[in-house]
Amino acid sequence: MLSRGNISPMFYRILSRFPPNFAFCFAYGSGVKQQLGYDKAKKKQNMIDLIYTVDNAHRWHVSNLERNPDHYSGLGRFGGNFIAKYQETLGAKVFFNTLIPIPEEDVVIKYGVVSTKDLLDDLTDWTSLYLAGRLHKPVEIIKTAASSKLQNALESNLKAAVHAALLVLPEKFTEFELYRAISNLSYAGDFRMIFGENKDKVNNIVRPQLENFRNLYSPTLTQLSRVLYLPVDSSDNVVCIQDQSEQTILYHLNHLPKWPVRRIVYKQTKGRYRQDTEDILTAVSKSSNYQEVVSRCLRSIVWQSSVKQSIKNIPSAGISKSIKYSWAKALKTFNM
Protein backbone atom coordinates (compact mmCIF):
# COMPACT_ATOMS: atom_id res chain seq x y z
CA MET A 1 0.00 0.00 0.00
CA LEU A 2 1.21 3.50 -0.80
CA SER A 3 1.60 5.48 2.39
CA ARG A 4 3.67 8.30 3.76
CA GLY A 5 6.89 7.68 5.64
CA ASN A 6 8.92 10.26 7.49
CA ILE A 7 8.68 13.21 5.12
CA SER A 8 11.45 15.77 5.06
CA PRO A 9 10.23 19.22 6.18
CA MET A 10 11.84 20.54 3.01
CA PHE A 11 9.00 19.08 0.95
CA TYR A 12 6.38 20.91 2.99
CA ARG A 13 8.28 24.17 2.57
CA ILE A 14 8.40 23.59 -1.19
CA LEU A 15 4.69 22.76 -1.31
CA SER A 16 3.86 25.96 0.58
CA ARG A 17 4.94 27.87 -2.54
CA PHE A 18 2.11 26.36 -4.58
CA PRO A 19 -1.69 26.56 -4.58
CA PRO A 20 -2.85 24.25 -1.77
CA ASN A 21 -5.86 22.74 -3.52
CA PHE A 22 -4.36 19.48 -4.79
CA ALA A 23 -5.66 15.97 -4.10
CA PHE A 24 -2.44 13.96 -4.09
CA CYS A 25 1.28 14.66 -4.37
CA PHE A 26 4.35 12.50 -4.65
CA ALA A 27 8.05 12.93 -5.36
CA TYR A 28 10.16 10.51 -7.35
CA GLY A 29 13.48 10.11 -9.16
CA SER A 30 17.14 10.01 -8.22
CA GLY A 31 16.84 13.25 -6.27
CA VAL A 32 14.42 11.52 -3.88
CA LYS A 33 15.14 7.77 -3.89
CA GLN A 34 18.67 6.38 -3.92
CA GLN A 35 19.83 4.86 -7.21
CA LEU A 36 23.08 3.06 -7.92
CA GLY A 37 25.54 5.19 -9.83
CA TYR A 38 24.64 8.31 -7.86
CA ASP A 39 26.88 9.45 -5.04
CA LYS A 40 24.74 9.87 -1.91
CA ALA A 41 26.73 12.98 -1.06
CA LYS A 42 25.73 14.44 -4.43
CA LYS A 43 22.11 13.28 -4.29
CA LYS A 44 21.00 16.81 -3.45
CA GLN A 45 22.37 17.96 -6.81
CA ASN A 46 19.86 15.77 -8.66
CA MET A 47 16.64 17.47 -9.63
CA ILE A 48 13.63 16.65 -7.46
CA ASP A 49 10.61 15.51 -9.46
CA LEU A 50 7.13 16.23 -8.11
CA ILE A 51 3.64 15.36 -9.33
CA TYR A 52 0.61 17.39 -8.24
CA THR A 53 -2.81 15.81 -8.76
CA VAL A 54 -5.55 18.43 -8.96
CA ASP A 55 -9.33 18.20 -9.25
CA ASN A 56 -9.62 21.39 -11.32
CA ALA A 57 -6.63 22.05 -13.59
CA HIS A 58 -7.94 25.41 -14.83
CA ARG A 59 -8.38 26.80 -11.33
CA TRP A 60 -5.02 25.43 -10.16
CA HIS A 61 -3.02 26.88 -13.06
CA VAL A 62 -4.73 30.27 -12.75
CA SER A 63 -3.71 30.38 -9.10
CA ASN A 64 -0.20 29.09 -9.80
CA LEU A 65 0.33 31.63 -12.58
CA GLU A 66 -0.44 34.35 -10.04
CA ARG A 67 1.99 32.88 -7.49
CA ASN A 68 4.73 31.59 -9.79
CA PRO A 69 4.50 33.19 -13.24
CA ASP A 70 8.24 32.67 -13.81
CA HIS A 71 7.79 28.88 -13.65
CA TYR A 72 6.01 28.87 -17.02
CA SER A 73 7.40 29.16 -20.51
CA GLY A 74 5.84 31.47 -23.07
CA LEU A 75 2.70 29.30 -22.93
CA GLY A 76 1.89 30.99 -19.62
CA ARG A 77 0.95 34.15 -21.52
CA PHE A 78 -2.14 32.36 -22.82
CA GLY A 79 -3.53 31.91 -19.30
CA GLY A 80 -4.67 29.12 -17.03
CA ASN A 81 -7.51 27.92 -19.26
CA PHE A 82 -5.14 27.33 -22.18
CA ILE A 83 -2.60 25.59 -19.95
CA ALA A 84 -5.30 23.30 -18.54
CA LYS A 85 -6.51 22.34 -22.01
CA TYR A 86 -2.93 21.78 -23.18
CA GLN A 87 -2.40 19.55 -20.14
CA GLU A 88 -5.57 17.49 -20.52
CA THR A 89 -5.67 16.90 -24.28
CA LEU A 90 -2.11 16.02 -25.32
CA GLY A 91 0.43 13.32 -24.55
CA ALA A 92 0.09 11.56 -21.20
CA LYS A 93 -2.09 14.47 -19.97
CA VAL A 94 0.59 15.89 -17.66
CA PHE A 95 1.90 19.46 -17.79
CA PHE A 96 5.50 19.93 -16.64
CA ASN A 97 7.41 22.99 -15.48
CA THR A 98 11.09 22.11 -15.31
CA LEU A 99 14.40 23.40 -13.94
CA ILE A 100 12.74 25.53 -11.27
CA PRO A 101 15.32 26.73 -8.71
CA ILE A 102 14.34 26.88 -5.04
CA PRO A 103 17.28 28.94 -3.70
CA GLU A 104 16.22 28.78 -0.05
CA GLU A 105 16.40 24.97 -0.16
CA ASP A 106 19.39 24.87 -2.51
CA VAL A 107 17.51 22.51 -4.86
CA VAL A 108 16.08 22.50 -8.37
CA ILE A 109 12.70 20.91 -9.02
CA LYS A 110 10.61 19.74 -11.93
CA TYR A 111 6.91 19.39 -11.29
CA GLY A 112 4.09 17.89 -13.28
CA VAL A 113 0.39 18.64 -12.92
CA VAL A 114 -2.24 16.02 -13.73
CA SER A 115 -6.01 16.10 -13.30
CA THR A 116 -7.42 13.56 -10.86
CA LYS A 117 -9.65 12.01 -13.53
CA ASP A 118 -6.69 11.48 -15.86
CA LEU A 119 -4.54 9.94 -13.15
CA LEU A 120 -7.42 7.60 -12.27
CA ASP A 121 -7.66 6.53 -15.91
CA ASP A 122 -3.96 5.73 -16.11
CA LEU A 123 -3.91 3.89 -12.78
CA THR A 124 -6.94 1.73 -13.53
CA ASP A 125 -6.73 1.33 -17.34
CA TRP A 126 -3.03 1.95 -18.11
CA THR A 127 -3.98 4.37 -20.86
CA SER A 128 -0.39 5.63 -21.04
CA LEU A 129 1.52 3.88 -18.22
CA TYR A 130 3.20 7.26 -17.74
CA LEU A 131 2.32 8.03 -14.13
CA ALA A 132 1.01 4.54 -13.38
CA GLY A 133 4.50 3.29 -14.24
CA ARG A 134 6.20 5.76 -11.95
CA LEU A 135 3.90 4.59 -9.18
CA HIS A 136 4.94 0.97 -9.73
CA LYS A 137 8.15 1.94 -7.96
CA PRO A 138 8.72 3.30 -4.45
CA VAL A 139 8.04 7.04 -4.32
CA GLU A 140 7.82 9.64 -1.59
CA ILE A 141 4.16 10.29 -0.82
CA ILE A 142 3.96 13.90 0.35
CA LYS A 143 0.19 14.19 0.43
CA THR A 144 -1.88 11.01 0.61
CA ALA A 145 -4.77 10.41 -1.78
CA ALA A 146 -7.70 12.63 -0.83
CA SER A 147 -10.36 10.09 -1.82
CA SER A 148 -10.88 6.38 -1.32
CA LYS A 149 -11.43 6.08 -5.08
CA LEU A 150 -7.93 7.37 -5.78
CA GLN A 151 -6.41 5.25 -3.00
CA ASN A 152 -8.12 2.15 -4.41
CA ALA A 153 -6.81 2.98 -7.87
CA LEU A 154 -3.27 3.30 -6.54
CA GLU A 155 -3.55 -0.15 -4.97
CA SER A 156 -5.12 -1.75 -8.06
CA ASN A 157 -2.23 -0.34 -10.10
CA LEU A 158 0.25 -2.26 -7.92
CA LYS A 159 -1.76 -5.48 -8.25
CA ALA A 160 -1.92 -5.13 -12.03
CA ALA A 161 1.86 -4.59 -12.13
CA VAL A 162 2.42 -7.95 -10.43
CA HIS A 163 0.06 -9.76 -12.85
CA ALA A 164 1.84 -8.16 -15.83
CA ALA A 165 5.31 -8.95 -14.47
CA LEU A 166 4.44 -12.59 -13.84
CA LEU A 167 3.19 -12.89 -17.41
CA VAL A 168 6.57 -11.83 -18.83
CA LEU A 169 8.74 -13.76 -16.35
CA PRO A 170 9.79 -17.41 -16.69
CA GLU A 171 8.67 -20.15 -14.31
CA LYS A 172 11.63 -19.55 -11.98
CA PHE A 173 13.13 -16.20 -11.09
CA THR A 174 14.64 -14.31 -8.16
CA GLU A 175 12.93 -11.68 -6.05
CA PHE A 176 15.21 -9.07 -7.62
CA GLU A 177 14.12 -10.18 -11.11
CA LEU A 178 10.49 -9.85 -10.06
CA TYR A 179 10.89 -6.23 -8.98
CA ARG A 180 13.05 -5.51 -11.99
CA ALA A 181 10.30 -6.85 -14.27
CA ILE A 182 7.75 -4.66 -12.49
CA SER A 183 9.95 -1.58 -12.83
CA ASN A 184 10.68 -2.36 -16.47
CA LEU A 185 6.99 -2.32 -17.45
CA SER A 186 7.14 1.44 -17.95
CA TYR A 187 10.70 1.57 -19.33
CA ALA A 188 10.55 -1.12 -22.00
CA GLY A 189 9.30 0.73 -25.05
CA ASP A 190 10.19 4.20 -23.75
CA PHE A 191 12.01 5.86 -26.63
CA ARG A 192 14.07 7.90 -24.14
CA MET A 193 15.88 4.69 -23.18
CA ILE A 194 17.45 4.71 -26.65
CA PHE A 195 19.39 7.85 -25.71
CA GLY A 196 19.71 10.12 -22.72
CA GLU A 197 19.09 7.41 -20.12
CA ASN A 198 21.45 4.99 -18.44
CA LYS A 199 20.86 1.51 -19.91
CA ASP A 200 21.22 0.04 -16.39
CA LYS A 201 18.64 2.43 -14.99
CA VAL A 202 16.13 -0.26 -14.00
CA ASN A 203 18.76 -2.34 -12.17
CA ASN A 204 20.04 0.79 -10.47
CA ILE A 205 16.56 1.66 -9.23
CA VAL A 206 15.74 -1.79 -7.86
CA ARG A 207 19.00 -2.90 -6.27
CA PRO A 208 19.27 -0.28 -3.48
CA GLN A 209 15.51 -0.28 -2.82
CA LEU A 210 14.72 -3.97 -2.38
CA GLU A 211 13.28 -3.46 1.08
CA ASN A 212 11.04 -0.64 -0.18
CA PHE A 213 9.80 -2.87 -3.01
CA ARG A 214 9.08 -5.65 -0.51
CA ASN A 215 7.02 -3.31 1.64
CA LEU A 216 5.16 -1.97 -1.39
CA TYR A 217 4.24 -5.34 -2.89
CA SER A 218 3.95 -7.61 0.14
CA PRO A 219 0.11 -7.41 0.37
CA THR A 220 -0.37 -8.31 -3.31
CA LEU A 221 2.20 -11.11 -3.31
CA THR A 222 0.59 -12.63 -0.22
CA GLN A 223 -2.75 -12.72 -2.05
CA LEU A 224 -1.12 -14.61 -4.93
CA SER A 225 0.40 -17.35 -2.78
CA ARG A 226 -1.83 -19.91 -4.55
CA VAL A 227 0.01 -19.36 -7.85
CA LEU A 228 3.35 -17.98 -6.66
CA TYR A 229 5.91 -19.48 -4.29
CA LEU A 230 7.91 -16.59 -2.84
CA PRO A 231 10.19 -17.80 -0.01
CA VAL A 232 10.35 -15.63 3.09
CA ASP A 233 14.03 -14.74 3.04
CA SER A 234 16.05 -11.56 3.26
CA SER A 235 18.18 -12.59 0.26
CA ASP A 236 17.10 -11.35 -3.15
CA ASN A 237 18.72 -14.39 -4.81
CA VAL A 238 16.23 -16.92 -3.44
CA VAL A 239 14.44 -18.68 -6.30
CA CYS A 240 10.71 -17.94 -6.70
CA ILE A 241 8.47 -20.32 -8.62
CA GLN A 242 5.21 -19.45 -10.33
CA ASP A 243 2.48 -21.65 -11.71
CA GLN A 244 2.42 -21.32 -15.49
CA SER A 245 -0.56 -23.48 -16.25
CA GLU A 246 -2.96 -22.22 -18.93
CA GLN A 247 -5.53 -21.56 -16.23
CA THR A 248 -3.13 -19.33 -14.25
CA ILE A 249 -1.92 -17.49 -17.35
CA LEU A 250 -5.54 -16.74 -18.23
CA TYR A 251 -6.10 -15.59 -14.64
CA HIS A 252 -3.25 -13.07 -14.98
CA LEU A 253 -4.46 -11.93 -18.41
CA ASN A 254 -7.93 -11.29 -17.03
CA HIS A 255 -6.44 -9.08 -14.31
CA LEU A 256 -4.58 -6.82 -16.70
CA PRO A 257 -5.99 -3.29 -17.05
CA LYS A 258 -8.36 -2.45 -19.87
CA TRP A 259 -5.89 -0.80 -22.24
CA PRO A 260 -3.36 -3.67 -22.46
CA VAL A 261 -6.24 -6.12 -22.96
CA ARG A 262 -7.58 -3.97 -25.79
CA ARG A 263 -4.13 -3.92 -27.39
CA ILE A 264 -3.81 -7.69 -27.10
CA VAL A 265 -7.24 -8.21 -28.70
CA TYR A 266 -6.47 -5.70 -31.46
CA LYS A 267 -3.13 -7.33 -32.29
CA GLN A 268 -4.46 -10.88 -32.17
CA THR A 269 -7.41 -10.05 -34.43
CA LYS A 270 -5.45 -7.64 -36.63
CA GLY A 271 -7.94 -4.92 -35.71
CA ARG A 272 -11.05 -6.82 -36.73
CA TYR A 273 -12.48 -7.53 -33.22
CA ARG A 274 -14.59 -10.43 -34.52
CA GLN A 275 -14.08 -12.65 -31.51
CA ASP A 276 -15.10 -12.39 -27.89
CA THR A 277 -12.37 -10.93 -25.67
CA GLU A 278 -12.42 -13.94 -23.35
CA ASP A 279 -11.97 -16.32 -26.31
CA ILE A 280 -8.97 -14.34 -27.50
CA LEU A 281 -7.36 -14.24 -24.06
CA THR A 282 -7.95 -17.97 -23.71
CA ALA A 283 -6.20 -18.55 -27.02
CA VAL A 284 -3.28 -16.39 -25.90
CA SER A 285 -3.00 -18.33 -22.63
CA LYS A 286 -2.61 -21.54 -24.66
CA SER A 287 0.01 -20.12 -27.02
CA SER A 288 3.73 -20.64 -26.60
CA ASN A 289 4.50 -16.96 -27.22
CA TYR A 290 2.08 -15.36 -24.72
CA GLN A 291 4.98 -13.60 -22.98
CA GLU A 292 5.97 -11.81 -26.17
CA VAL A 293 2.33 -10.95 -26.92
CA VAL A 294 1.98 -9.24 -23.54
CA SER A 295 5.39 -7.55 -23.72
CA ARG A 296 4.76 -6.20 -27.20
CA CYS A 297 1.43 -4.68 -26.24
CA LEU A 298 2.86 -3.02 -23.13
CA ARG A 299 5.81 -1.65 -25.11
CA SER A 300 3.48 -0.12 -27.67
CA ILE A 301 1.54 1.75 -24.96
CA VAL A 302 4.74 3.11 -23.41
CA TRP A 303 6.29 4.01 -26.77
CA GLN A 304 3.34 6.12 -27.89
CA SER A 305 2.88 7.95 -24.60
CA SER A 306 6.61 8.63 -24.12
CA VAL A 307 6.99 10.07 -27.63
CA LYS A 308 3.87 12.24 -27.42
CA GLN A 309 4.62 13.50 -23.91
CA SER A 310 8.24 14.31 -24.76
CA ILE A 311 7.14 16.37 -27.77
CA LYS A 312 4.53 18.07 -25.61
CA ASN A 313 7.15 18.94 -22.99
CA ILE A 314 9.21 21.05 -25.40
CA PRO A 315 6.78 24.02 -25.58
CA SER A 316 5.85 23.72 -21.90
CA ALA A 317 9.51 23.89 -20.85
CA GLY A 318 10.60 26.30 -23.57
CA ILE A 319 13.37 25.64 -26.09
CA SER A 320 16.28 26.77 -23.91
CA LYS A 321 15.20 24.75 -20.88
CA SER A 322 14.47 21.71 -23.07
CA ILE A 323 17.99 21.79 -24.48
CA LYS A 324 19.51 22.34 -21.04
CA TYR A 325 17.47 19.51 -19.50
CA SER A 326 18.26 17.06 -22.31
CA TRP A 327 21.94 17.95 -22.20
CA ALA A 328 22.06 17.44 -18.43
CA LYS A 329 20.42 14.01 -18.82
CA ALA A 330 22.93 13.02 -21.46
CA LEU A 331 25.89 14.19 -19.37
CA LYS A 332 24.59 12.31 -16.34
CA THR A 333 24.39 9.13 -18.43
CA PHE A 334 27.89 9.48 -19.88
CA ASN A 335 29.36 10.15 -16.43
CA MET A 336 27.86 7.02 -14.86
pLDDT tens for each residue of 216-230: 999 999 999 999 998
pLDDT at 76: 95
H helices of 169-271, in order, are 175-184, 201-206, 210-223, 246-254, 258-268
Q: Do the domain assignments include residue 179?
A: yes
Residue 111 placed within a domain: yes
The CA–CA distances, whole Å, from 188 to 96, 112, 319 equal: 22, 22, 27
> Does residue 167 lie in a domain region?
yes
In a domain, 196, yes or no: yes
- Provide the residue-wise pLDDT of the chain in tens; the chain has 336 residues: 565 667 889 999 999 999 999 999 999 988 887 676 555 545 456 789 999 999 999 999 999 999 999 999 999 999 999 999 999 999 999 999 999 999 999 999 999 999 999 999 999 999 999 999 999 999 999 999 879 999 999 999 999 999 999 999 999 999 999 999 999 999 988 877 765 566 688 999 999 999 999 999 999 999 999 999 988 776 667 899 999 999 999 999 999 999 999 999 999 988 676 678 999 999 999 999 999 999 999 999 999 999 999 999 999 987 666 666 554 554 454 444
Q: For 94-126, what is each residue's pLDDT tens digit?
A: 999 999 999 999 999 999 999 999 999 999 999
- Please give the residue range of the domain that contains residue 70: 9-335
**Is the CB of residue 162 less than 8 Å from the CB of residue 182?**
yes
Q: What is residue 46's predicted lDDT score, i.e. its pLDDT?
A: 72
Instruction: Provide the domain count of the chain.
Output: 1
Q: How many residues does the chain have?
A: 336
**How many of the other CB atoms lie within 10 Å of CB of 270?**
8
What is the pLDDT at residue 31? 81
Is 2 a member of any domain? no
